[in-house]
Structure 1
Amino acid sequence: MTFDSTALQSWAARLLVSWGYSDDDAAYIADTLVDANLRGVDSHGVIRLPAYHARIDAGLVVPTARPVVTREGGVIRVDAAGAPGQLAARAAVAALVEASGELGVASAVIHGSTHFGTAGYYARALAAQGKIGIVVSNSEPAVVPFGGRDAFLGTNPFAFAAPTGGDPISLDMATSTSAMGRVMVAQAAGKPIPADWGVDAEGRPTTDPQAVKALLPAGGPKGYGLAYLTEVLGGVLSGAAIASGIGNMYSDFSRPQDVGHWMLALDVERFLPFGQFTQRMDGLAADAHAIAPAPGNSQVLVPGEPEERTKAARLSAGIDLPAATIEELTLLGVASEVPFPEGDIR
C-alpha cells in the first residue's frame, strides 16, 4: 500500500506525542523518519517506531529528557542523558553551527545516545547552514570483521554533505555491504536479499533474510577499516560504549544502548567565498554529468542525486510500505489510540 508522506509524518508525530514527546520534538523525530522513507532508505524510516516504543516502555529512553551540551571553543560534547538519538543529534548540530560560524571549524561527540535515524539527515542540516558536514555513528555489533565469522562492529554509517547552488551533494553509507534495516525490510516484505549482504550462523553467505546472523563489510578490508575508524571516532573518542558494549536495540532491554556519534562542521565562508564555493561545486557536478555513461546506465550521477530523485517521486506518488510493516504500525496505533492512516492500493 502507498501512503501520502504528509499524512504519514503527521501520524508519526501524533503517535510520538502520545508517548510523551513535546509537539516540537515529536515533529522533529517524525521528520527524520519520514525523510528516510522519502529518500528510499526505508530501513531507517517508520519501520523503526515499534523498537523506539519498546525502549520507552522499558524505561531506557525518556521522552521528556533533555540532552546536556558543553562546549570549549570548537569542541562540543553532548550527553544524550536519556533522550533519543535524534534529539541529541539536533542539539549537536545547533552547537556546531554556532561554533563553526565563530571559529571556522568545530567538532562534536555524543555519548549515551540511541539510534538517531540516518546520519545523512544531520550532514544535510549542516550543509543547509553553509557548512561541510561529516557525521558518523557506531552501533551494536552486526558486521563480521574481514576474515571473521562473528559480528564485531556495527554497520557504522558514514555521511557527508556540502552545499551547492541547489540540493546539497551528500553521501550516506553503511560501512557494511547493507544496513541491517534493509535486511529487516526484506524480512517484512518476504523477499530474498543479495548474497553479499549477510552470512548465516555458520558464516556462509545467504540470500534468506531470516537466516542472516551478521552482515559483511563493504569492499572487504576497506569497509572494515572505515568501520573501525567510525568506531574510534563515534565510540572510543566520545566515551560511549564500544562494539559489544553497545546494547542491542531490539533484544537487549537490560541497559541503555549508549551509542556514540561524531560530527565535524567546516564553515565554507572561512575557506572560500560561499558563492565561489557553490559555483565550483556545481561545476564539479556538471563535469560528472558530462561523462559518457557505461553500458546499462543512462547517466552519471553525483552523491545524493539518486535519493533526491526518489524523494521527488515519493512526494508525488506516495511511500510504499510492506504489509508486515503496515500491520505492525497499525497495532502500534491501536495501542496508543492514534489510528494508522489509510493508504492507497496501487
Structure 2
Amino acid sequence: MSETALKTQPARQAWPAAILIDFIARALETTGMRPADAAIVGELMIEADLNGADAHGIFRLPQYVQLIRDGAINPTAEISVKKTAAATALVDGGNGMGHLVVKRVADTAIELARESGIGWVGCHRSNHAGSGSVYAAMPVQAGMIGIYAAVANANHMAVWGGMEAALGTNPLAIGMPMGEDRQLMLDMATSMVSYGTVKKHAMQGQPLQEGWMVDLRTGGPLIDAAQSSHGLLLPIGGYKGSGLALMLGFLAGTLNGAAMGLDIVDFNAVTDTPTDTGQFVIAIDIERFVPRAQFESELRRHSKALKGTARMPGVDEIRLPGEQRNERRARRMKDGLQLAAPLVAKLNALADKLGIAPL
C-alpha cells in the first residue's frame, strides 16, 4: 500500500471478528496447514484481540507465516498425548502451531480434572501460542479454575543483577468462574510489559513508557521502541518478578523437557529453527472442594466488597483482574475490532504476497 493511500485512510477501522478469522485461516492454508486447523488457529488468535491482547492476535500473523515458510513450525504436525498418571499428562506438540498444541493441552487438562479433580498437563516441542488468558479461560468455560504458564519465545530480561538477556517474559494467567457469564482473569507477563507490546509500539511509531526497558548502552530508560534490541525489559516488582520468571520457566520448560534459559531460540531473530517451547495448563474442578455455585457466589460477594473499599485520590473505580477483559470482549464482538492503519497495510502486503484477497 502506498504512503499516499495510508495517509488518506482513517487511523483505525473496525473489522468483524468473523472476517479476520477467515483472513487468518486463508493465509495459513497457503502454508499447507489443514483448513480445519487453520480455522481453529484463526479463532484463537482473534480471541486474543477480542480480549484486548492486541499484541498477541492478528498482529502476529505475518511472523507466524514467515516461521512456517522458513521451516521453524510444522503446519501439519501430529500432536500426541501421553498420560503419565491419573491427573498428569505430557503433550508432544510435534513442532506444530502453538495454538493447536496448547488447545490440546487445555482440553486434556479438563478431561483429567473431570476424572481426578485436577489435571496438570505440560508440553514440549510447541511454539508461540498468543495470549495466555485464552487457554486459562478454557477450564473456566468448563466450570473449573484454569492456570496457564509458558516459557517465552525469546529472552528479553536479565536474571536479577545481570545485564544479559537470559530470561523470557514468561507469562502467567489464572482464571476463575464467577457465574452470570463473568470471570476473574489475571493475565500477565513477568516483565513490565510483553515484548509484543514493544513491537506494536515500534510498528505504530509510539514511544515506550519510562520504566518498561533499560538501555544497556547508557543504563537509563529506553524510550524509542525501534531501539529495543539495545535494551532489556524490566521485571515486575524488581527481584520478585525475576524470580517468578525463573520458576515459571523451570515449571513450563525444564519440567516438560522443553527449552529454558540460554537454550531459548529467539523466534524474532531466527525463523528456520524450532523453538521447543514449553507450556502448561492446570485445570481444577471446583466441586472437589466446595459447590461451584457457592464458590461463584463468594467470588461475586468478595468482588463487590473489594470494589467498594476506599479509593486512592484520583482513582474513579477499583477494578479487578478480568473486568476490562469481559467488557472489552462484549464491546468488540458488537462493534468489531479496530486495526491500526500500519497493521492493515502490513496484513494486505502479506495477502498480496500469498495471493489471497486482502482485507
TM-score (norm 1): 0.94
Distance 2:339 2:101 in 1: 28
From 101, 104, 120, the equivalent of 1:91 is: 104
The residue number in structure 2 matching 1:51 is 63
The answer to whether the aligner puts 1:41 opposite 2:53 as a matched pair is yes
The residue number in structure 1 matching 2:42 is 30
Deviation (angstroms), 1:183: 0.5
The residue number in structure 1 matching 2:226 is 210
- Name which of structure 1's ranges 162-171 and 173-182 shifts more when overlaid on structure 2: 162-171
The answer to whether the aligner puts 1:160 opposite 2:174 as a matched pair is yes
The answer to whether the aligner puts 1:252 opposite 2:264 as a matched pair is no
SS of equivalent residue, structure 1 residue 193:
coil
The answer to whether the aligner puts 1:80 opposite 2:93 as a matched pair is yes
- Name which of structure 1's ranges 322-331 and 183-192 shifts more when overlaid on structure 2: 322-331
SS of equivalent residue, structure 1 residue 95:
helix
Show CA shifts across 1:1-33 (max 9, x none).
Answer: 223223222211222223222233222211222
Show CA shifts across 1:247-306 (max 9, x none).
Answer: 111211342011111221111111111111111111121112222332222221211011
User: What is the percent sequence identity of the aligned residues?
Assistant: 32
Distance 1:254 1:23 in 2: 23
The residue number in structure 2 matching 1:322 is 340
Is contact 2:95–2:276 with CA below 8 Å preserved after alignment? no
From 119, 134, 147, the equivalent of 1:106 is: 119
Is contact 1:288–1:301 with CA below 8 Å preserved after alignment? no
The answer to whether the aligner puts 1:169 opposite 2:184 as a matched pair is yes
Q: How many residues align?
A: 341
Consecutive unaligned residues in structure 1, runs of 5 or more:
342-346
* Paired letter, 2:68: I
Distance 1:158 1:239 in 2: 19
Deviation (angstroms), 1:89: 0.5
Deviation (angstroms), 1:332: 0.9
- Name which of structure 1's ranges 23-32 and 91-100 shifts more when overlaid on structure 2: 23-32
The answer to whether the aligner puts 1:184 opposite 2:199 as a matched pair is yes
Distance 1:295 1:150 in 2: 39
Equivalent residue runs for 1:1-346 within 5 Å? 1-4=12-15, 5-72=17-84, 73-139=86-152, 140-165=154-179, 166-202=181-217, 203-212=219-228, 213-341=231-359
Distance 1:14 1:169 in 2: 34
Is contact 1:70–1:77 with CA below 8 Å preserved after alignment? yes
Is contact 1:50–1:332 with CA below 8 Å preserved after alignment? yes
The residue number in structure 2 matching 1:344 is none
Is contact 2:169–2:191 with CA below 8 Å preserved after alignment? yes
Is contact 1:79–1:112 with CA below 8 Å preserved after alignment? yes
Is contact 2:31–2:69 with CA below 8 Å preserved after alignment? no
Distance 1:137 1:181 in 2: 15
Distance 2:33 2:252 in 1: 26
Distance 1:98 1:38 in 2: 26
Distance 2:53 2:88 in 1: 31
Shift >4 Å, 4+ stretches: none
Distance 1:95 1:199 in 2: 40
Is contact 1:188–1:322 with CA below 8 Å preserved after alignment? no
* Paired letter, 1:293: R
Deviation (angstroms), 1:46: 0.9
The residue number in structure 1 matching 2:7 is none
Show CA shifts across 1:102-159 (max 9, x none).
Answer: 1001211111111011111110111111111111001221112222222110010001
Distance 2:344 2:145 in 1: 37
Distance 1:254 1:40 in 2: 30
Distance 1:314 1:102 in 2: 36
* Paired letter, 2:265: G
Consecutive unaligned residues in structure 2, runs of 5 or more:
1-11
Distance 2:274 2:333 in 1: 35
| Aligned-residue CA RMSD (Å) | 1.5
Distance 1:117 1:62 in 2: 17
TM-score (norm 2): 0.91
* Paired letter, 2:94: A
Is contact 2:71–2:272 with CA below 8 Å preserved after alignment? no
